[in-house]
A and B are shown apart, each in its own frame.
Chain A
Amino acid sequence: MELLCIRQWISGLLPTWLSAWCIKPVGGALVRQEPEYILLALMGSPLKKIMLCSSEKEIFSVEEQVMVQHSVIINNMIEDGSYNHEESKIPLDCVDSKTLKKVIDYCTHHTHHHNDNQEDLEAWDAQFLNVDSNGLYDLLMAANYLEIRNLLDLIYGTIKNMIKGKKIDEIRRIFNIKDHGFTPEEEEQNRKEYPHFY
């Protein structure tokens, strides 16, 4: 059968609302998609695994659906067909093993639990981000590289909250900014003009 006929046959199998729009979530957004991929996704490929290779050459095996739903980069890689499931692995030279494991953990949890209620998810997220500063910035850069929208928003929100509502000296302590770089006159001027910040 020609590809066109196959598409029509597949479209016929899909529920009407799904085939009409052919949308699926990718990295937090909804993207138009060809019907055959939707059907494959519905039928069997959730169990399909892909290999991610960290900068330390450690290989992680993850469900394809999980990563494709969250990471725009990985979704693009798989979609344009440059990834061959049997042999290749996706090299992620910017991400080390510890961080990659954490990222995979986040994506897996959010895929499997996305029907949970908001408070449970938020509590899990808070627990997930209970790491030291080093880990937090590594996560942020990994999420930026892999373009995982919801993890990025989460981490940016956390860092924003470290600044919001705190006094300047507290902020300097939290971020370990020992040398603020202002001359003594500038610092004094700031304190006089904006006493409620200090």
Chain B
Amino acid sequence: MASSSDFALSVPSELESVLRLRTVDYFITRRPWLDLYGVNVRPVAPFGSASRKPYVESALIHQCLPDELLFEVFARMTPYDLGKASCVCRKWRYTIRNPVFWRVACLKAWQLSGVVENYRILQSKYDGSWRKMWLSRPRLRTDGIYVSRNTYIRAGVAEWKITNPVHLVCYFRYMRFFPSGRFLYKNSSQKIKDVVKFMNFRSSKVDSVFGGHYTLSDDKVEAAVLYPGMRPTVLRIRLSVRGTTPGANNRMDLISLVTSGVNNSEASAPEEDILGVVEGWRDDETHNPDVPAVSHKRGMTPFVFVPFDQVETSVFNLPVEKMDYYVPG
């Protein structure tokens, strides 16, 4: 038994498990950790923590299911739900730390950058950690709608006993982004729960939902949408994305909102080109003298992100009487 050589031909019993891996047929080196594969490893709480007592597993899912199958469950969840699941218990948190989940999520969310560029950014800015990229790199969320709630005061008609009536008018800007580089825009006083069903590409003009294109560089969004019609107008929107917590990306601040005229040839260009058409325009530029360039200064409340599953219960559905001011934060 050549104990000093690694190339022993007869295999000691403790290395039996090693032979199950074909690549190891060549070098029978000692790899005792291979026996740990497939074994449920219970995460140990840090020393001194309240939960460092003999671990009695109450959850059936942890008693029955091997780790690979739990992994498969998580593989089918959205990053948002993964973040939630990692707060449920320590075992789930350790399982979800696996970079595979975050790599898939990152490559999908920043697909416009392309795979090669994403890998480059991963190494240069985020230490090779996909999870760090997911939490730190600004992105536009696609699992809901960004809402900007604006109010203004309008004088009403004096009648009967009411001498100086004043109305608080509330209107919303809705933006929904898609990973492909397109987005949908709607400006309406309708509540979000009534609007959400129209925020898709099947909507007709009657629903006054307009589609455009956007680009995201760093945290700056440049978006353009064309209002077709007799006097075609382009709406150029500049926003910056931020979040209330790391990775949340649930706020957008309006930097500028400019409406300008486009001439007929630009208006009839295929939809993809509108952002390309207005790229590089100055803020006061307009290509149709009938439609002056207007940089809007009102109705610039920051956008708040509402995920689809919170649309029905969102505070944005409250009427003006119940909620007159909303501070986005």
Please give the residue numbers on chain A whose beta carbons come within 8 Å of chain B beta carbons, in ascending order: 133-134, 137-138, 140-141, 144, 152, 156-157, 159-160, 163-165, 168, 171-172, 175-184, 190, 193-194, 196-197
Closest-CB distance, B98 to chain A (whole angstroms): 17
Residues of A within 8 A of B62 (CB): 177
Top 3 nearest A-B pairs (CB, nearest first) are A181-B90, A137-B64, A178-B58
CB distance from B131 to the nearest CB of A (A): 15
A181 touches B91 (CB 8 A): yes
Known interface pairs A134-B64, A194-B83; A140-B69 also in contact (CB < 8 Å): yes
Known: A141-B69, A156-B76. A197 touches B84 (CB 8 A): yes
Shortest Cβ gap from B28 to chain A (Å): 30
Question: Is the pair B84, A168 in contact by a Cβ cutoff of 8 Å?
Answer: yes
A143 shortest CB reach to chain B, Å: 10
Give the number of chain B interface residues (Cβ < 8 Å). 34
Q: Are B61 and A175 in contact (CB under 8 A)?
A: yes
B81 touches A163 (CB 8 A): yes
Bound CA span A192–B55, Å: 27
Q: Is the CB of A141 within 8 A of B65?
A: yes
Q: With contacts A163-B81, A177-B59, A181-B51 known, is A141 near B64, CB below 8 A?
A: yes
* Binary flags per residue of B86-106, CB closer than 8 Å to A gives 1, else 0: 011111000000000000000
Which residues of the partner chain A approach B83 to less than 8 Å between Cβ atoms?
A: 194, 197
Q: Whole-angstrom distance between the alpha carbons of A177 and B89 in the complex?
A: 8
Let me know if A144 and B64 touch, CB within 8 A.
no
- Distance in Å: Cβ of A186 to nearest Cβ of chain B: 8
Q: Which of B64, B77, B89 contacts A181 (CB 8 A)?
A: B89
Q: How far is the CA of A140 from the CA of B62 in the complex (A)?
A: 13
7 A–B contact pairs at CB < 8 A? Answer: A156-B73, A156-B76, A178-B58, A179-B55, A181-B45, A183-B45, A194-B83
Q: Is the CB of A177 within 8 A of B58?
A: yes
B76 in contact with A171 (CB, 8 Å): no
Q: How far is the CA of A168 from the CA of B85 in the complex (A)?
A: 8
Chain A residues with CB under 8 Å of B69's CB are 140-141, 144
Residue of chain A at shortest CB distance from B77: A160
A sample of 19 more A-B contacts (CB under 8 A), given A141-B66, A163-B77, A168-B87, is A144-B69, A157-B76, A159-B61, A163-B84, A171-B85, A172-B89, A175-B59, A176-B59, A177-B59, A178-B58, A179-B56, A181-B45, A183-B46, A183-B50, A190-B87, A193-B245, A194-B84, A194-B245, A196-B310
